[in-house]
Amino acid sequence: MSAAGEIVSPARAALRNATRAAHLRLHAHPTLAALAAGRIASSQYLRLLARLYGFHLPFERALIEAALCHGVDLRIDARAHLLTRDLFDLGASGEFIAHLPLAEAPALGGPGEWLGALYVREGSSLGAAFLAAALDPLLGAGCARGRRFLSGGETEDWRLCCAALEAGAARGLLPAMIDGAQASFHALEHWLADHE
């Protein structure tokens, strides 16, 4: 699930292995699979964005707040607002967005769990870049509107995340990191489960 020939650092490899099954289950989610195949309809994409907003807004807030509690010195780039812009682009109203249900964020009890959750959030932007490209049939090639969230990952954020994962593993946090990553994947799976 990564670019051919890429060297994967040990903590990332351990996290990837521990979450592979959940990641593959998400690939099989009907809406995500339709998106990946370039077959998603506009109304279906809008419902998916609404659901992702309900997950990512509290998840992002929890990551930012827990970073302060755990004394983590790593900038968390806010991206949930990009979902708001995409929803507007797809025709949603401000009132619709304001009333969207929000998920309960996974508990991030310590720096290890926090790092595992960060891995899921930043890593998801790698796959998201592929999903953004698969929106060409719906949005038109070269059109940024409607896919700002999926296109929004920064290479530098991922690089800093990977460095933080290795530093965390060197401090003996890997088991807690795996717990945090698995909990984050399961929270998203659970949240998307009732979304057809």
At closest approach, how far in Å is the CB of 93 from ligand HEM?
26
Q: Which is nearer to ligand HEM, 112 or 123 (CB)?
A: 123
Task: Write out the chain in H/E/C secondary structure.
Answer: CCCCCCCCCHHHHHHHHHHHHHHHHHHCCHHHHHHHCCCCCHHHHHHHHHHHHHHHHHHHHHHHHHHHHCCCCCCCCCCHHHHHHHHHHCCCCHHHHHCCCCCCCCCCCCHHHHHHHHHHHHHHHHHHHHHHHCCHHHHCCCCCCCCCCCCCCCHHHHHHHHHHHHHHHHCCCHHHHHHHHHHHHHHHHHHHHCCC
At closest approach, how far in Å is the CB of 80 from ligand HEM?
13
Q: Which is nearer to ligand HEM, 95 or 196 (CB)?
A: 196
At closest approach, how far in Å is the CB of 133 from ligand HEM?
11
Q: Which is nearer to ligand HEM, 94 or 156 (CB)?
A: 156
At closest approach, how far in Å is the CB of 31 from ligand HEM?
9
Write out the residues near ligand HEM by the rule CB under 6 A. 1-3, 12, 16, 23, 26-27, 32-33, 36, 119-120, 123-124, 126-127, 130-131, 188
